Amino acid sequence: MTFAIEVLNVEKRYGALQALAGVSLAVAEGEFFGLLGPNGAGKTTLISIIAGLARASSGEVRVMGADVIADYRRARRMLGVVPQELVFDPFFTVRETLRIQSGYFGLRDNDAWIDEVIHHLDLGTKADANMRTLSGGMKRRVLVAQALVHRPPVIVLDEPTAGVDVELRQGLWQFIRRLNRDGHTIVLTTHYLEEAEELCDRIGMLKAGRIVALDSTRNLLETFSGLVLKLRLDRDALPEGLGAELLASEAGRFTLRLRDHFELEELLRRLREAGAAIRELELEPPDLEEVFLRVMARH
């Protein structure tokens, strides 16, 4: 099986600092994969190694089966990266920038695709504007366009919506979802965990250069988060022996943490047996932010 990205026991050291400590993961073709972690966890270092901007101290990395060192030309062609930093050449227009980027990959007569990318990223009114005149949000759109200009099958987005407005964020995700539906593999790093929860099929979490969680988004939510139940009863105290974790209580209002829906059914049964009447009930679904905090606290 050919993976879109395959990382095998990768380590990276900067002198005495070990930025990555034996990271292994595989991203399937067509997957929407989230790579999460606190600042300094090693996310950008790993992306730099995948993109060929840094070399691992040990281990192997392949993009669509191409080794990023031994077969670096094909590996680069298979990959488009949107970096965190706003890097641009102030001497060219948006369209010229994208044509030059096409040339880096030996692409001629690429204007039809450039026009489509410009349209979907809402850059049409700025296509002939000089890069140095653009706002920060517009420059970030151009970075996304540059990553897509050679139609790579694998796209890595490193904090692509940092510092951009809501309208751009929504438009960008519509375009990226479309690319994913068309078969592109997407790897996303973000501090907006609601984005990762909504978009990603599977998530890997990094801490101190190590993978501390790697599973489908659904499994992570069910395994680590559980459910939060808010109740208002006809009494000021909970019946004995409910078994759920009590998070807060005040004047007949209770907040409880449950492992899953089976525990919810059991709790409701015990409330009925105890004769407690439920006046209000609110069930909060699992939340990726809570999962993230729990995983980071455990490692």
> The domain that contains 257 carries what CATH number?
3.30.70
- Nearest-angstrom CA–CA distance, 69 and 139: 30
Asked whether residue 74 falls in the same domain as residue 156, the answer is yes
Percent of the chain having pLDDT more than 90?
57
Radius of gyration for the chain, computed over Cα atoms and rounded to the nearest angstrom? 24
Domain membership flag for residue 16: yes
For the beta carbon of residue 55, count every other beta carbon within 10 angstroms.
Answer: 11
Widest pairwise Cα distance in the chain:
76
Tallying the residues shown for the chain, one arrives at 299
Pair 227, 258: CB distance under 8 Å:
yes
**Total of domains in the chain:** 3
Range of the domain at 73: 1-78+152-225
Asked whether residue 184 falls in the same domain as residue 52, the answer is yes
Domain membership flag for residue 295: no
Q: Record the tokens describing residue 189, joined without a space.
A: 């790093």
- Going 262 to 263 to 267 to 269, the CA torsion angle's sign is positive
The DSSP bridge partners found for residue 253 are 232, 250
DSSP-assigned states of every residue in 257-299? EESSHHHHHHHHHHHHHTTPPEEEEEEEPP-HHHHHHHHHHH-
Domain membership flag for residue 293: no
- Nearest-angstrom CA–CA distance, 271 and 240: 9
**Residue 36 one-letter amino acid:** L
* pLDDT tens, position by position, 154-209: 999 988 877 677 777 887 888 889 889 999 999 999 888 989 999 999 999 999 99
The residue from 195, 225, 255 where one domain ends is: 225
- Going 69 to 214 to 35 to 154, the CA torsion angle's sign is positive
The residue from 182, 197, 225 where one domain ends is: 225
Looking at residue 1, its pLDDT comes to: 66
Asked whether residue 32 falls in the same domain as residue 158, the answer is yes
Alpha-carbon torsion, ordered 191, 196, 199, 204, to 10 deg:
120
Pair 4, 154: CB distance under 8 Å:
yes
Domain membership flag for residue 27: yes
* pLDDT tens, position by position, 71-94: 999 999 999 998 887 878 888 999
Is 70 exceeded by the pLDDT of residue 225?
no
Asked whether residue 7 falls in the same domain as residue 68, the answer is yes
Asked whether residue 51 falls in the same domain as residue 176, the answer is yes
Please state the rounded mean pLDDT for residues 250-277: 88
Asked whether residue 240 falls in the same domain as residue 211, the answer is no
Please state the rounded mean pLDDT for residues 32-50: 94
The residue from 130, 150, 170 where one domain ends is: 150
Stretch among 49-58, 117-126, 148-157 having the lowest mean pLDDT = 117-126
Is 90 exceeded by the pLDDT of residue 284?
no
- What is the CATH number for 194? 3.40.50.300
